[in-house]
Homo-oligomer: A and B are copies of this chain.
């Protein structure tokens, strides 16, 4: 499996985070980056995160690059809005899945596409296997693909539409850490990319492998602070044990 997420801060920009573990059965576990970036500085910046069948996602990314090289119409550098970019990616993904499906086999993939074109707003979109897509709202300033449930509670508690990029980055890393702690199919290296609104460039990228000191420090700090917070919770009062037995 996979866990990728993107967070939008209306005021500040975008945060992208992805793990790197892929597996086809538990005895075939590999490491692949699931984060791709496409940028024409000063004009447009895109980040793509992928989850699902690796052959499909690699096929889609290869096709995006080929379309750019061949100046195909449309391609990621010719589309004029983020929605058009999401439509384009959805079409590629759906076509790639169809190509190898004989009716029964399913090679589904999901993507998150985020970025900004010129003076338009920065946006993130989640592209479903069918090719259709959704974006964020004021109440839901993030999107997830893959093993999304373990890391959702912390996002729901921390994120607001105006969270700073620094806070959103930490929330993403903590969400990723909780997921890795509870699910072996999500694992390092972890990649993190920040996009500053209106910068139209992508130069804030970090990659944390399993031995990364900061990631270890973050993980143990969070674990300690959680335990401490937990120990300070209001105790539950119990009435004196009643004489009546429980239902039978």
Q: Which residues of A contact B (CB under 8 A)?
A: 36-41, 68, 147, 149-154, 156-158, 166-167, 169-171, 173-174, 178-179, 181-183, 192-194, 201-206, 214, 217-218, 221-223, 225-230, 232-238, 241-248
Residues in B with CB closer than 8 Å to A181 are 153, 156-157
Does A229 lie within 8 Å of B236, measured CB to CB? no
Does B158 lie within 8 Å of A206, measured CB to CB? no
Does B173 lie within 8 Å of A39, measured CB to CB? no
Report how far A158 CA is from B227 CA in the complex, Å: 7
Q: How far is the CB of A30 from chain B (nearest CB, A)?
A: 20
Residues in B with CB closer than 8 Å to A245 are 39, 41, 201-203
Report how far A173 CA is from B237 CA in the complex, Å: 13
Q: How far is the CB of A167 from chain B (nearest CB, A)?
A: 8
Residues in B with CB closer than 8 Å to A153 are 150-151, 153, 178-179, 181-182
Does A225 lie within 8 Å of B233, measured CB to CB? yes
Does B221 lie within 8 Å of A234, measured CB to CB? yes
Does A246 lie within 8 Å of B214, measured CB to CB? no
Report how far A170 CA is from B183 CA in the complex, Å: 23
Residues in B with CB closer than 8 Å to A242 are 203
Q: How far is the CB of A248 from chain B (nearest CB, A)?
A: 6
Q: How far is the CB of A240 from chain B (nearest CB, A)?
A: 10
In-complex Cβ contact of A202 among B174, B226, B235, B246 (8 A): B246
